Structure 1
Amino acid sequence: MNFKGTIFYKGEQGYEEARVGRVFNHLRPKRYPIAVFFPEDEQDVIEAVKYANENSFKIAIRAGGHSWAVWSVRDEGILLDLKKLNNISFNSETKIVKAQPAVRNLDLSPYLEQHGLMFPGGHCPTVALGGFLLQGGQGWNARGLGWAAEYIEAMDIVTAAGKLVRADATQNTDLYWAARGAGPGFFGVVTCFHLRTLPHPKAMMASTFIFPTSEAEPILKWMQEIHASVSIKVEMVVIGQTVPELEGVSGSNIPVIIVHALTFDDTEEESRKSLAPFENCPVMEKAYVKKSYYFTNFKEQFDLQLEANPEEHRWSVNSAWLEGSPENVSKTLSPAFITLPNPKAFSLWYSMAPLRPIPDTMAFSLQTDIYFASYVLWEDENEDEHNKTWLKNIMNHIEPITAGQYLGDSDFRAHGRKFVSDANYQKIQQIRAKRDPKRLFHSYLANPDTVINKNDFEINV
């Protein structure tokens, strides 16, 4: 094997750091690959895949290590850590950016901004492109700009046979289709993404309102009633969280409901018009804080995300695509926003309305007009059971309004949920049977009795 990079075999010094040192979730898995490979370049990836084939080892892939369930750390086989595949280049004529899988949103956003461009990457700046794009890519203003995977013009992929190929709309179209939505079930190693970019918005503005938790249900109901009519230049969210303190409010660690609207317009006039509907919140007189029409930028928004997503914490996260009337959804969902298990946890309501059709040219295929996710983080391992149980109970509670989930915020070991259409899941498996007949690549991490791509609460009903 002509591998130039570094290899750490189980039992060797440095193995444990190689195994989980780049794992964001400090709820570390007790799963142990035979070795961790750090390739230097694409040729090293090819060598590693050939080595795995020759020795009948399975392969799991890590781009950034940010998956909540830690998809990449599996028992036995090889963990292929793409840490060093982090190059970016830009074609000023085509406006296509080439980015390798370990490139983070924190790297790509300022790089493109200097060219007057943006890419609808992930909100959390430390997330890498690899897993994010393979799962569909719910990025900035997805309700207006669409899924980040839609912006993939081409991919360079090392196949299970150890060959480097280009996949796009004209060649290796099966891989191009499957890679955009199969997530950790994809059967190849993407070594480079060729991404279409967009003009950078010239007048990003926001409005933020903070309310007591008593207003959670009416706010969730009102947001669902209006969100389809709000300009598609606006990203709109409702957040349930705890803030350390608020001016004019006694005490500390105050549970609140936050409404945050962010525009992607090009003029102040357009941004103000886009944000105007939020001034009509029916419980505005109850607001602790009312901050309207202020200018912002990606750096400020990333800083907020870094604050909400700190390093060195234990995490339990899950999500759901929701459907139902505003009355039913708001009533069913509000406990997730007002009963948080600790002061660091937070829950998110995210609008996707008016719902854009998903192109049939990619595997990603499941969405509704409301996305919900709950992010439970803590530091003390003695609190593991308390926090995981709270999230499990919340996800069970919202089953009547759940249609499925997004792979990026999922853990099949906690809840089995649908993430693509039935037809697309079958097609993914058919392509895999052709492209990876020996099942060289690990697939979805789940419990032995989990039926993949099924809502577990609907099985045997």
Structure 2
Amino acid sequence: MATVTAAPGPSFRGRLVRPGDPTYDEDRRVWNGSVDRHPALVACCAGVADVKDAVRFAAGEGLPLAVRSGGHSFPGHSVCDDGIVLDLSAMRGIRVDPEARTVRAQAGVRLGELDRETQAFGLAVPAGIVTTTGLAGLTLGGGIGWLMRKYGLTIDQLLSVDVVTADGSFLTADEERNSELFWGIRGGGGNFGIVTEFEFRLNPVGPVVLAGPVLWPMEESARLLRLYRDWITDVPDELTTAVVHRRVPPVPFMPQELHGRPVVMVVCCYAGPVEDGEKVLRPLREAGPPPLLDLCTPKPFTAHQAMFDPSFPRGRWYYFKSCDVDRLEDEVIDITAEHAARITSPLTAFPIFQLGGAIRRVGDEETAFGGRSGGHTFNINGTTEGPEGFQAEREWARGLWSALAPYQTGVYSNFLMEEGEERVAQAYGEAKYRRLRELKRHYDPDNLFRLNQNIPPAAAS
């Protein structure tokens, strides 16, 4: 294990944590428990000045630099061996302007914290499905969530960012200032700098929405998916759904007698009047096989946002494979149902997110994000409490992903593991990837920010 005796600077206001310090083991841990790395230094920044000092220090020492907001990076990019972790988790300021309908949020903010402040005014940013997720990483990759068909991706409501670049400089990017950087940040991840603060447009939501899961027995999967495919062809943009296959988790809102039972569920969120949502959901409820349980009810939006939290706690072992498909063809449905029936871990689950709506109404060239034309995103997740059984769940996830290969059209970068440059390029498409590499060459020619879904800088011409 490497040691670092120097420090970012005498004026550093945050905490500096090294191996052997009392909090070291806690400070190096990330959400995915299968990731176990030992940095030489964790620099817990208190503000922008600390971020600038830490970036300059890492570059000067030639050390790997991992950047951490919420620490939810699937492959564990939020921590590194023998390098520096630049931890933003203490920077959690939020300022809502209800009249202008904007919010400014620092890079350490979690989604649940953002929702709490914005929902106090009946407003929201479309962002994510787990409240402990860091806002920064989610946004920089695009940001899917329960409001995306109504209000688009998280980046579609982004107005400006404050950024510390690889040379330690500070700048602001928006549609007018540093506009090419602003284009790349919206989907290109943390490749171009460290965003210390975000400014978002806010949208009216709730505070009560019609939301929650409707459950059927797993053996009804193929039949239900065909019904679901036909039903969503003309649902309004106010409705966003995800189909989830899993065993019923032992959580308080699920009846005990169903715990462990294999099910397929359609999880809904209707971002409009509850009575309108009831009409939209009626065909799903009445035309298909009788549901085991219907928990799609009026509830606070913040409660729905937290629904998946018990299923994705910090410390479990997670492995993901992901892909986009244009449509739930019969073959895709049959593959899905066949592999879902093989789930053995009570913790494994895979959502199939419904895309479209407002996501497609943003021009494809307006942001770096790829995949706006996709129909569905598969997030195939094999999970265990620890190492026991993890290899089997990983192979199950890979098997389903491989079976879907003929129908894959792209991938959401936030759902990638360590899969190589070709897969990162696939997330953007050839033309955008070239443009992103040129942007990288301008802002980070030495690839300091490489512990991410990395876009290498273009070669100098």
**Normalising by structure 1, what TM-score?**
0.88
> Deviation digits for residues 103-128 of structure 1, max 9, x if unmatched?
11111111111112111111101001
Find 1:308's aligned residue among 307, 311, 320.
311
- CA shift, 1:169, in A, is 0.4
User: What amino acid maps onto 2:224 in structure 1?
Assistant: I
The answer as to whether partners of 2:78 and 2:85 remain within 8 angstroms in 1 is yes
Find 1:422's aligned residue among 392, 417, 430.
430
Structure 1 match to 2:204: 199
Structure 1 match to 2:292: 288
1:372 is paired with a residue of what secondary structure? Answer: strand
Distance 2:265 2:196 in 1: 39
User: What amino acid maps onto 1:101 in structure 2?
Assistant: A
- CA shift, 1:189, in A, is 0.7
- CA shift, 1:289, in A, is 2.6
Structure 1 match to 2:440: 432
Cα gap change, 1:175 to 1:384, in 2 (>3 Å): same
> Structure 1: which 5+ residue stretches go unaligned?
453-461
Structure 1 match to 2:366: 361
Larger deviation, residues 348-357 vs 105-114: 348-357
- CA shift, 1:167, in A, is 0.5
Find 2:113's aligned residue among 102, 107, 113.
107
User: What amino acid maps onto 1:421 in structure 2?
Assistant: G
> Deviation digits for residues 186-232 of structure 1, max 9, x if unmatched?
22110000011001235511364321112111211222223130111
1:57 is paired with a residue of what secondary structure? Answer: coil
Find 2:241's aligned residue among 224, 236, 241.
236
User: What amino acid maps onto 1:353 in structure 2?
Assistant: G
Structure 2 match to 1:458: none
Cα gap change, 1:160 to 1:213, in 2 (>3 Å): same
- CA shift, 1:321, in A, is 0.4
1:334 is paired with a residue of what secondary structure? Answer: helix
Cα gap change, 1:251 to 1:52, in 2 (>3 Å): closer
Structure 1 match to 2:58: 52
Cα gap change, 1:250 to 1:45, in 2 (>3 Å): closer
Distance 2:303 2:133 in 1: 17
User: What amino acid maps onto 1:312 in structure 2?
Assistant: G
Structure 1 match to 2:15: 6
1:231 is paired with a residue of what secondary structure? Answer: coil
Distance 1:387 1:415 in 2: 25
What percentage of residue pairs aligned between the two structures are identical?
24
Listed as ranges, the matches of 1:208-227 within 5 Å are 208-227=213-232
Structure 2 match to 1:387: 393
- CA shift, 1:402, in A, is 1.3
2:139 is paired with a residue of what secondary structure? Answer: helix
- CA shift, 1:445, in A, is 5.6
- CA shift, 1:67, in A, is 1.3
The answer as to whether partners of 1:233 and 1:274 remain within 8 angstroms in 2 is no
The RMSD of aligned alpha carbons is 2.6
The answer as to whether partners of 1:228 and 1:353 remain within 8 angstroms in 2 is no
**Normalising by structure 2, what TM-score?**
0.88
Indicate yes or no: 2:91 matched with 1:82.
Answer: no
Number of equivalenced pairs? 440
- CA shift, 1:155, in A, is 0.2
Distance 1:425 1:443 in 2: 18
Cα gap change, 1:11 to 1:251, in 2 (>3 Å): closer
Cα gap change, 1:207 to 1:65, in 2 (>3 Å): closer
Listed as ranges, the matches of 1:137-176 within 5 Å are 137-176=143-182
Listed as ranges, the matches of 1:329-408 within 5 Å are 329-354=332-357, 356-359=360-363, 360-367=365-372, 368-408=374-414
Distance 1:98 1:248 in 2: 40
> Structure 2: which 5+ residue stretches go unaligned?
1-8, 457-461
> Deviation digits for residues 324-360 of structure 1, max 9, x if unmatched?
5621221122234222131121111221135614432
Cα gap change, 1:122 to 1:445, in 2 (>3 Å): closer
Structure 1 match to 2:25: 16
Cα gap change, 1:223 to 1:357, in 2 (>3 Å): same
Distance 2:141 2:254 in 1: 40
Distance 2:46 2:436 in 1: 30
The answer as to whether partners of 1:239 and 1:347 remain within 8 angstroms in 2 is yes
2:161 is paired with a residue of what secondary structure? Answer: strand
Cα gap change, 1:13 to 1:156, in 2 (>3 Å): same
The answer as to whether partners of 1:234 and 1:275 remain within 8 angstroms in 2 is no
- CA shift, 1:37, in A, is 0.8
Larger deviation, residues 57-66 vs 72-81: 72-81
Cα gap change, 1:189 to 1:291, in 2 (>3 Å): closer
- CA shift, 1:92, in A, is 3.2
Distance 2:257 2:114 in 1: 41
Distance 2:58 2:256 in 1: 60
Indicate yes or no: 2:266 matched with 1:259.
Answer: yes
Structure 1 match to 2:3: none
The answer as to whether partners of 1:239 and 1:337 remain within 8 angstroms in 2 is no
